[in-house]
Amino acid sequence: SAVISQKPSRDICQRGTSLTIQCQVDSQVTMMFWYRQQPGQSLTLIATANQGSEATYESGFVIDKFPISRPNLTFSTLTVSNMSPEDSSIYLCSVEDATRALQFFGPGTRLTVL
Amino acid sequence: AQTVTQSQPEMSVQEAETVTLSCTYDTSENNYYLFWYKQPPSRQMILVIRQEAYKQQNATENRFSVNFQKAAKSFSLKISDSQLGDTAMYFCAFMKPLTQGGSEKLVFGKGTKLTVNP
């Protein structure tokens, strides 16, 4: 399976600021996904990021709030903009192994907004 | 839209015993994949097991096995010889393959918190 790293692993931020989360994979992948896991909840997909095209956002998530970059086949960033305490969550990136129809997850970023 | 339901918010089991976690799903698709992921307190999502809908044979992975009932849209996870390290949140998930290759998003259930007691 792919080795996935995320930075930062955790952060505490003030409301109104923005945080960019990085996701790095040790192999080239076509599709990367960003999920949000609110406290005590399940995972919800924010958006799908393909290299070379605009990210596709799920209902309830907008580009102005969660801009995503995908500059190459091993890297992606998710920015959480103009944060409020409701954005406090774990943010996870995942990558697809298309040949085996599997998704593997990064270790997650725990975000706390005060 | 696909939905995944886990009706057991919490379960506990004694070490070395067997436990079964339930999952049901709703879909109109005929071809899809089902997964169980484990999330220990470290929050890392770990793939436990995968089942392809077109395969009748239940998937097994060491102490983990599934009971896949396609007609009933049921996908339970059995953990044999439970170990303390199995303590975690367990999420059932559904994924639909894209017709042109690759796969779509994972749709998760709400999870079952499993505690293995010594």
- Is pLDDT at A30 greater than 90 in this prediction? no
Is residue A43 within 8 angstroms of chain B, CB to CB?
Answer: yes
Which of B25, B31, B36, B43 to substitute to test the interface with A, most A CBs within 10 Å?
Answer: B43
Residue B91 one-letter amino acid: F
Contact A105 B45 (CB under 8 A): yes
SS3 call for B85: helix
Min distance A13 CA to chain B CA atoms (Å): 20
C-beta pairs of A61-65 under 8 Å, 24+ apart in sequence = none
- A60-80 burial, b at 16+ Cβ within 10 Å, e below that, comes to ebeeebbbbebeebbebbbeb
**Strand A109-113 to A10-13 pairing:** parallel
- Check residue B39 and give its pLDDT: 95
- Check residue B102 and give its pLDDT: 57
Which of A42, A48, A59, A110 to substitute to test the interface with B, most B CBs within 10 Å?
Answer: A42
- Check residue B56 and give its pLDDT: 86
- Check residue B103 and give its pLDDT: 62
Query: Over the stretch B36-50, which tens digit does the pLDDT of each residue have?
Result: 999 998 888 999 999
- Check residue A75 and give its pLDDT: 95
- Check residue B101 and give its pLDDT: 57
Around Cβ B85, how many Cβ atoms within 10 Å?
9
- Check residue A2 and give its pLDDT: 83
- Is pLDDT at B35 greater than 80 in this prediction? yes
A11 sits in the region (left: phi over 0; alpha: psi -120 to 50; else beta) called: beta
Q: What is the DSSP string of B17-31?
A: S-EEE--EEE-S-SS
Min distance A38 CA to chain B CA atoms (Å): 11
- Check residue A91 and give its pLDDT: 97
What is the 3-state composition of chain A as percent helix, strand, coil, each rounded to the nearest 5? 5, 55, 45
Query: Over the stretch A50-102, which tens digit does the pLDDT of each residue have?
Result: 887 889 999 999 999 999 999 999 999 999 999 999 999 999 999 988 777 78
Alpha-carbon separation of residue A96 from A59, A87, A112, B91, B97 (angstroms): 21, 25, 28, 18, 11
Query: Over the stretch B80-108, which tens digit does the pLDDT of each residue have?
Result: 999 999 999 999 999 987 666 556 789 99
- Check residue B41 and give its pLDDT: 87
